[in-house]
Structure 1
Amino acid sequence: MSHEIRPTASRIRVSRPVLWLLLAVFMVGNMVSNTAGLHLFLGVGFGLATLACAAALIVQHYDRRRSDG
């Protein structure tokens, strides 16, 4: 009898609806900061936060596909 041993994930799991909400908020913040000509680092911060949310959603998608299949 063999059991698959998986290391425990030390990363924080955020629910998908929260990630989608954050993604939308950061995208709008990025658009507004770039359109209004606000400080460059503010737009970069919103852009990086948007990319982080998108990456987290992609990782969760593939993790879920792997565990279902």
Structure 2
Amino acid sequence: MADPYRISDASEKPEAAGGGGGVLRPVLWLVLAISLAANVLTSSIGENVLIGSVFGACALASGITLIVHHYKHRRR
């Protein structure tokens, strides 16, 4: 039910149920989980350090992107 006493712009659009995330957030969470698991696996096996570093960089990038996306699309 709309609040008749609320002052707002007519151009204001209500956000979707997902908070404006769309497909980006689930994909970023998936990339984060897979890259973290691969980083742990390659580190424990003792494989090439470069491969573990690439997975770590992917995890770091997706985590930072999730944080930036959260702060840009949070409700105030």
- Unmatched runs of 5 consecutive residues or more in structure 2: 1-22
Q: Distance in 1 between matches of 2:61 and 2:33?
A: 12
- Return the structure number with greater helix share: 1
Calculate the TM-score normalised by the size of structure 1: 0.74
Paired residue for 2:43? 34
Runs of 4+ in 1 over 3 A off after TM superposition: none
Percent identity of equivalent pairs: 41
RMSD value, Cα: 1.0
How many residues get paired? 54
Paired residue for 1:24? 33
* Structure whose CA Rg is larger: 2
Letter in 1 for 2:66: L
